[in-house]
Amino acid sequence: MNSIKKSDFSFELAEEQIAKYPLEQRDQSKLLCYKNGVISHHVFTDVASLIQPNTLLVMNNAKVIPARLYFKRSTGAQIEVLLLEPFLPSSYEEAFIANSSCQWKCMVGNSKKWKNEESIDLLNQPELLQAKWIHREEGIVEFTWSNGLPFTSLLHNIGELPLPPYLNRKTEQQDNQTYQTVFAKNEGSVAAPTAGLHFTHEVLGNLSARGAVIQEVTLHVGAGTFLPVKTDDVLDHAMHREFFEVTLDAIDGLINHTHRIAVGTTSLRVLESLYWIGVQLIEGNHSLFVPKLYPYESESIYPFIDACKEIKNYMLTQNLSILSAATEILILPHYTIRSIDAMITNFHLPESTLLMLIASIVGEDWKMIYETAKWNRYRFLSYGDSSILFMPKKQ
């Protein structure tokens, strides 16, 4: 497999082009359209006019949780804990309804000062919540509390919504609304699926009037989405496992629509992961997990719809209304996209895996797109402007 150098995806991004705050009206962001090698400029409220009728838009309905917690040792040292994913109980639903204890995989700030056997208390409200290490090497922390509240209620009382580190500011009250999509439902993410932040109920209504169909999936976005690529060869970059859920109705929608648009990189990762799960099922492997490099090691020639039909058959046989799966998929420039015609996405960081994913759709034209966006003062990253990128027409 050919190596991919992160330096090939470097570009200059001025600090002032990073949007630290959202626009007052989320659907008034700029919208860059790339189609057949041509760029045009719009406002996001125009998005319905840019797609053809009977298009399926796949959106990630994951909801960001107040996952950042602050604790204090008896010595006075502060410990910051960021929840990543449940460990015991292992499902998000079960972890959120737990009423006395649960264990989560976490990122911990100032961890060297937190001893292995030490129980620490919540900062400012020590009686509410305690934490201790279970497996330090794996980042597993156990939380215990005695007021009988479900863990989700406790979190909403004491937790802080985690903003991306590149915003370089504290979470503010307004972020609790502006850093959620209007269709957010399923709690568990530590980062928003930010391509969806531009949608309003009015825009969704315009899309419906256009004949577009909205289909929701869930992928819980982890902190790994913010991790920079530190290896020279991107193939060596560690991808964090992400969990996703897709309903049987969603699978039917994918089968019944030939034109599909992914809203965001997370939705695209779900769709492409579904393809490889379907391929594995066709080949007799019932694993519901896509390893990082599996797509590059397979010589699959199955159409996307065939893979979806195989998943539907599997779900019917197993009497499943929801498919729960996991993925480490790494979508690089030479990856072949199979699931979509276009993608709606924000503008990403230099040398990031998300930018490399964009290159899998538009090829080397990503450079022209990003230079055009910079020249036209587009706002970058989570609270920034948007783009709709169409796949080249197949010859």
Rounded to whole angstroms, the Cα distance separating 343 from 341 reads 7
Q: What is the pLDDT of residue 139?
A: 94
Rounded to whole angstroms, the Cα distance separating 295 from 343 reads 20
Cis peptide before 89 (omega within 30 of 0): yes
Contact 136, 112 (CB under 8 A): no
User: Smallest Cα–Cα separation from 261: which of 392, 388, 356?
Assistant: 388
User: Smallest Cα–Cα separation from 241: which of 162, 165, 169, 329?
Assistant: 329
Q: What is the pLDDT of residue 379?
A: 98
CA 85 to chain centre: 13
CA–CA–CA angle 193, 198, 199 (5° rounding): 95
Widest CA span of the chain, in angstroms?
A: 67
> What domains are defined for the chain?
6-64+178-390 (3.40.1780.10), 68-160 (2.40.10.240)
Q: What is the pLDDT of residue 267?
A: 98
Reduced to 3 states, what is the DSSP secondary structure of residue 164?
coil
Rounded to whole angstroms, the Cα distance separating 179 from 175 reads 5
Q: What is the pLDDT of residue 395?
A: 41
User: Smallest Cα–Cα separation from 348: which of 136, 195, 182, 183?
Assistant: 195
Q: What is the pLDDT of residue 217?
A: 98
Residues of the chain with pLDDT under 50: 395
Contact 370, 153 (CB under 8 A): no
pTM, two decimal places: 0.94
User: What are the helix (H) ranges across 244-339?
Assistant: 248-256, 265-282, 294-297, 304-317
Q: What is the pLDDT of residue 337?
A: 96
- Give the tokens for residue 54: 């009977």
Q: What is the DSSP letter of 73?
A: -
Rounded to whole angstroms, the Cα distance separating 247 from 240 reads 23
In this structure, how many other beta carbons lie within 10 angstroms of the beta carbon of residue 8? 13
- Give the tokens for residue 346: 């924000």
- Give the tokens for residue 328: 């480490």
